Structure 1
């Protein structure tokens, strides 16, 4: 209705055989690749925070798989180094962007990575030369000392003088040896043995005779020839400035011998993780040896030098110091070292009240007026001053002089980093002065090792009440003061590991006494490491250059075989250095 019904055309179905086109062998693979690419791009986009960006300047060296010590407490496993400096610190998973075919990769295998250790108080040339002398540092008994002297003399019969160092006062009844003991083992040539602290020397009869020291010889200023109480004859012990009476007997090494000794000292430093030294008290001749080695490129340690100052210095002396600084500041001449007292063991450290077993306050190097004159002048000329101050009287006199200098020189421009060296005992009222005065306590933890020398001589001399304030590291930190740690090598060995352990345990290396010596002054390991790295760098005004592992800091690093923080405190002195880096270069590797 209305129009035709149109039917669809019905055609018979055609049996078509469809032949597929030839198969593309790459079609499925390319699809898979595309899918994988899209998936990988998605992963990158969603995990960008964990990846290092492509770096056009890859690292020269990368340490990874370590436990990198960060003073902030942040986690870190890897350190990238370029051009002698740290350029990146982070996690292993983020380190790939710092690596190319030229990058040296050092695996730390879970060991702790720390800044290179900085010995804040050392006598490096003296210690290096001492490597060829008799080492008495660990000899606890007189018989052991004498056996070593006799054996050394037989081993080196060609040596005209026998020289050694390191004996302890506590090895001898009454705290002091005699020349007769040495005569019994070496009677045909001079024997010169410095005490471990460098403030006393023990010699035999031949040495006294050749030096012209007799019962009629007067004591030199601020020195003492110890004499037999019955006969008045010299006993063979010379204290403080009296040691100079035998200076002419010491063999004088040649420049080449000194340089060779320094190379041995450098190798030793690297083996124990030391990359910086602060030489406390050098004269022009000693400085020349260091300078020669540095200019020759043969001294791979950072250096800071304190020139030796003296009581009674005049304008000519101050001008000489200034001329040396102008000529040598590039190698680290920035400080002057002074003495205000001696040591407790020989009753020459200056106390506020008499010794427990002698009616003396000690032997100050000068009076308060002279010390204030010296330090005010040095401060005005913008030196940093290190003062050897062991007794609490010497500490107070020095703090008073620093305070006087600050008041006298309000317009000083250079950074002040004045220091007390040693600080074996300090009055509580003076601990709180360190922070406001900005004075650093430069201390040597191995000096506090509580062996027989400490209990039989040091404590006996100073008395038990003052001994409770011995080496007050924790109290200084608690008051906001700053610590810098070192060894005072060759007073004790250069190795910092025993000092780290003693700072933590306040016991000998074999765990004595059972009750730690002044337990309240124990440090945490991180505090001790800080004092040996950042604290030491701060003391020399170099904390922006070294003392931490952070971008821009010098790549002076130590890789320890284990994470020191996981070791028992009693094992710290055995901790092994796996590698030491100086200026981004591996200068020591265990087993090589």
Structure 2
């Protein structure tokens, strides 16, 4: 996705003998610059006016994958910085901080639910391990973080804000304040290197387009502007508006396609900040957090609908989901159902949605941007969902089959760095859901992860990915070579 990484492919390239998903017999695909000019059976490819012919002998060819939800800078920092996903205790985290190079320590991926002893290191211990450096260590869900005193000193507004603790991890507004301070302390060169590293990593896994879910609580306008300079990045900006004029101005200023993505209605189940109707099983006094009230949700959807701009929200808990669904319905009554459908609004995660809500969303054309690897990581009778919610509520999580059956358009993503960019693992997770009856078939899953077009078609953009099993051999987007391993 780096415009300087590789040149364009030769014009009139003919790929012969490829396997296409769902097709019988070898096929051929012809590309001329940015367009697909012909597809058909391999035995009809002879005589096509190609300048270059590649015999690929049964190699699988798909459209390039689309990752519908990423955080590129944070994902790149995980690749180039402190990866805490293998830590199995608080002391492991401290050891990683001690070994980190000088300057700001940015780490990600601790998950205390997987530790034998779930106690987190305190702030004083982090201060000692870091020798007084600023430290930001996000939990696997990026809805809470361990931080050092040096970072808190850069974000004094975090002290006493919702989610603040003098020891332990920060959540809610306190977390948002320290995250902004950590991003502000990140050198521009390190940010740019992280973005390039992530986009190269994604292209190496067959990803031709990513949807960056940015916003003032997540990354910032400068971060998004730098990222949008790369090819294959679509930006969504998570900030609420109250008028069509404000919506248009904000999209123009940020370069975002829509005011959607991680506009937080609630938080996450892992950090117990997802908004629930009934309390958490393992925290009976807690029903999570709400960051936008119902009136703000309605204003935002109405404004974006009238501006013809996609709106959307981050929703996980059942209380948050119901508020978002009701907001779309109220917006339809204030504008029109056709106007709401035309805007192609979206919801991110949408984990605790019931069949009735799915039908209501389908009637208004709302897209479900979902992450099948969440179920692989936290589903099942002994997973984090069951620990937080109890088995009955956990079994209803991430109901991909019900959403598809209701007619909701599915868009698959990773939420990287929360789960890895791994499209075939995502397909397997969607087709082998840990709750019986919630899986979708492979054709549906592939369509959900390729923007609705699993294979290239004549007249479409010249994009494809070649595969040897899960290994990506080549990724091409609009005639540009993004990745080559053959």
Residues 1:118 and 2:66 are matched in the alignment: yes
- How many angstroms does 1:475 deviate by? 1.6
Query: Which whole-Å CA distance do the structure 2 matches of 1:147 and 1:345 have between them?
Result: 24
8 Å CA contact 1:204–1:236 kept in 2: the answer is: no
Corresponding residue number in structure 2 for 1:182: 126
Structure 1: any 5+ residue segments left out of the alignment?
A: 1-57, 227-233, 294-298, 507-516, 536-545, 563-574
Q: Give the one of 314, 318, 326 matched to 1:400.
A: 326
Q: Give the one of 524, 539, 552 matched to 2:459.
A: 552
TM-score (norm 2): 0.87
* SS at 2:130 equivalent: coil
Q: Give the one of 471, 481, 486 matched to 2:413.
A: 486
Query: Which whole-Å CA distance do the structure 2 matches of 1:235 and 1:169 have between them?
Result: 15
8 Å CA contact 1:166–1:194 kept in 2: the answer is: yes
Corresponding residue number in structure 2 for 1:278: 211
- How many angstroms does 1:399 deviate by? 0.8
Pairing of 1:39-438 with structure 2 (within 5 A): 60-69=12-21, 73=23, 77-100=27-50, 103-151=51-99, 153=100, 156=101, 159-172=102-115, 177-179=120-122, 182=126, 185-208=129-152, 217-218=159-160, 220=161, 223-226=162-165, 234-246=166-178, 247-250=180-183, 252-282=185-215, 283-291=220-228, 293=229, 299-301=230-232, 303-310=233-240, 313=241, 319-326=245-252, 333-337=257-261, 338-357=263-282, 358-410=284-336, 412=339, 415-438=342-365
Deviation per CA, 1:25-57, whole angstroms, max 9, x where unpaired?
xxxxxxxxxxxxxxxxxxxxxxxxxxxxxxxxx
* SS at 2:356 equivalent: helix
Query: Which whole-Å CA distance do the structure 1 matches of 2:353 and 2:197 have between them?
Result: 37
8 Å CA contact 2:214–2:224 kept in 1: the answer is: no
- How many angstroms does 1:309 deviate by? 0.7
Classify 1:394/1:288 alpha carbon distance in 2 versus 1 (closer, same or farther; 3 Å). Answer: same
Query: Which whole-Å CA distance do the structure 2 matches of 1:267 and 1:174 have between them?
Result: 37
Query: Which whole-Å CA distance do the structure 1 matches of 2:112 and 2:210 have between them?
Result: 28
Classify 1:183/1:272 alpha carbon distance in 2 versus 1 (closer, same or farther; 3 Å). Answer: same
- The number of residue pairs the alignment matches comes to 468
Higher mean C-alpha deviation, range 198-207 or range 252-261: 252-261
Higher mean C-alpha deviation, range 250-259 or range 386-395: 250-259
Q: Give the one of 573, 576, 580 matched to 2:471.
A: 576
Corresponding residue number in structure 2 for 1:46: none
Query: Which whole-Å CA distance do the structure 1 matches of 2:88 and 2:429 have between them?
Result: 18
Residues 1:525 and 2:442 are matched in the alignment: yes
- How many angstroms does 1:366 deviate by? 2.6
Query: Which whole-Å CA distance do the structure 2 matches of 1:588 and 1:561 have between them?
Result: 14
- How many angstroms does 1:484 deviate by? 0.6
* SS at 1:163 equivalent: strand
- How many angstroms does 1:336 deviate by? 3.3
Classify 1:446/1:170 alpha carbon distance in 2 versus 1 (closer, same or farther; 3 Å). Answer: same
Classify 1:176/1:532 alpha carbon distance in 2 versus 1 (closer, same or farther; 3 Å). Answer: farther
Query: Which whole-Å CA distance do the structure 2 matches of 1:435 and 1:522 have between them?
Result: 18
8 Å CA contact 2:14–2:54 kept in 1: the answer is: yes
- How many angstroms does 1:395 deviate by? 0.9
Classify 1:451/1:469 alpha carbon distance in 2 versus 1 (closer, same or farther; 3 Å). Answer: closer
- How many angstroms does 1:256 deviate by? 4.3
Q: CA RMSD in A?
A: 2.9
* SS at 1:400 equivalent: helix
- How many angstroms does 1:125 deviate by? 3.0
Query: Which whole-Å CA distance do the structure 2 matches of 1:478 and 1:356 have between them?
Result: 30
Classify 1:257/1:319 alpha carbon distance in 2 versus 1 (closer, same or farther; 3 Å). Answer: farther
8 Å CA contact 1:534–1:548 kept in 2: the answer is: no
Structure 2: any 5+ residue segments left out of the alignment?
A: 1-9
* SS at 1:96 equivalent: coil
Classify 1:213/1:586 alpha carbon distance in 2 versus 1 (closer, same or farther; 3 Å). Answer: closer
Identify which of structures 1 and 2 has the higher relative contact order when contacts are C-alpha pairs closer than 8 Å and 6+ apart: 2
* SS at 1:340 equivalent: coil
8 Å CA contact 2:237–2:254 kept in 1: the answer is: no
8 Å CA contact 1:165–1:193 kept in 2: the answer is: yes
- How many angstroms does 1:481 deviate by? 2.0
Classify 1:333/1:434 alpha carbon distance in 2 versus 1 (closer, same or farther; 3 Å). Answer: closer
* SS at 1:449 equivalent: helix
- Radius of gyration: which is bigger? 1
Query: Which whole-Å CA distance do the structure 2 matches of 1:194 and 1:390 have between them?
Result: 19
8 Å CA contact 1:349–1:362 kept in 2: the answer is: yes
Classify 1:582/1:250 alpha carbon distance in 2 versus 1 (closer, same or farther; 3 Å). Answer: closer
* SS at 2:339 equivalent: coil
